Amino acid sequence: MALFAELLDGELQLRCREALNAYNGPLVPWVTALRDVDVYRAVRLTHVLGDFDQILIGARLADGQEATCAVWVDHLVESEIANAALFVVTIDDALDKLFGPDLTAIDMSLADARAWIEYGLKRTFVFRETATWPDCRPLVQWLVGRLPDGGDLHKSPIWGRDASSALFDEFFASEAGAVFDSRDHRYLLQELTESGTADPLRWSAARVENVLESPLSEGDHPLKVLLDVPDLLRAYIPFAHERSGIREGLTARALATLDRAEVDRRSA
């Protein structure tokens, strides 16, 4: 009951706390220490392609026991929480465990961590189920509730019209883009780059897959132009990654997704 009084929220939590207040028996020490948890640090692991951030929250119980909660924020689906897990290690040890290629570790304010995670918890566009999610959702909510308010939400890359227009001018003037240089293809590319993370310079395999599966505004694009989507992306992605310094291995994965989709289309 004492554990539920901490981890649950809303009316059910109030009922548990009322029952706990009426209880006069002994409690397990670690449960009574939950209210004294010190959530002291937040670190963001950001992927170079911008698909996701992992937010690590370092916590310390009253007896000195350390734990780290890792929350995966998926920016391809409006910054929804895609996964979360608890590690009974320090946040530095968790960083060593989770850090990998193409990731950057950045300390963030506790208030920003709360704002990002609470926003993600409200998004339910895609049903997610992993070995730990959504089972640990009450734990995430409990830890986040110990963080200060007033943080800033995640902001997607904002490209002004002049900047994106200059980028597209450069692409359509290149050897790879010249074959598509028409108003219709430019309009189509503009819509494609506004999908997912909305960053025109970074394309993951997952983002490409989402673009290919998402319905475009077919009424606004001629059919012959829509049929050029795979070829347009196949020309544009290497161009974009060269300008943003994305390594060739990640570019190859994105292009392989296009190739697989083309094979599937022809065999259907």
pLDDT (tens digit per residue) in 45-80: 999 999 999 999 999 988 888 999 999 999 998 899
pLDDT for residue 207 is more than 80: yes
Q: How many angstroms separate the CA atoms of 55 and 39, rounded?
A: 13
pLDDT for res 205: 96
Model confidence over 112-121: pLDDT tens digits?
999 999 999 9
pLDDT for res 162: 83
**How do 38-47 and 52-60 pair as beta strands?**
antiparallel
Helix (H/G/I), strand (E/B), else coil: 6: helix
pLDDT for res 23: 47
Buried b (16+ CB within 10 A) or exposed e, 171-207: bbeeeebeebeeeebbebbeebbeebbebbbbbbbbb
**Contacts for 132-136 with beta carbons within 8 Å, 24 or more apart?**
132/83, 132/84, 132/85, 132/86, 133/81, 133/82, 133/83, 133/84, 133/85, 136/69, 136/84, 136/85, 136/86
pLDDT for res 56: 98
pLDDT range class, residue 3, cuts 50, 70, 90? very low
Q: Is the pTM of this model over 0.85?
A: no
pLDDT for residue 24 is more than 90: no
pLDDT for res 268: 57
Model confidence over 157-186: pLDDT tens digits?
778 778 889 999 999 999 999 999 789 999
pLDDT for res 222: 85
Using alpha carbons only, give the angle 202, 205, 210 rounded to the nearest 5 degrees. 95
pLDDT for residue 139 is more than 50: yes
pLDDT for residue 232 is more than 50: yes
pLDDT for res 155: 87
- CB neighbour list of residue 5: distance below 8 Å, 6 or more residues apart: 13, 16, 17, 19, 20
Across residues 39-47, what is the average pLDDT?
97
* Total count of residues recorded for the chain: 268
pLDDT for res 90: 96
pLDDT for res 182: 86
Q: Give me the residue spans of the domains in the chain.
A: 37-144, 161-267
Q: What is the CA radius of gyration of the chain?
A: 23
Q: Are 253 and 236 in contact (CB under 8 A)?
A: no
User: Cα-flanking dihedrals φ and ψ of residue 128, to 5°?
Assistant: -115, 140
Across residues 146-155, what is the average pLDDT?
93
pLDDT for res 9: 55
Across residues 14-27, what is the average pLDDT?
49
Q: Count CA atoms within 13 Å of residue 207 on its CB side.
A: 27
pLDDT for res 30: 43
Q: Are 119 and 97 in contact (CB under 8 A)?
A: no
Nearest in space to 213 (alpha carbons), one of 252, 266, 265: 265
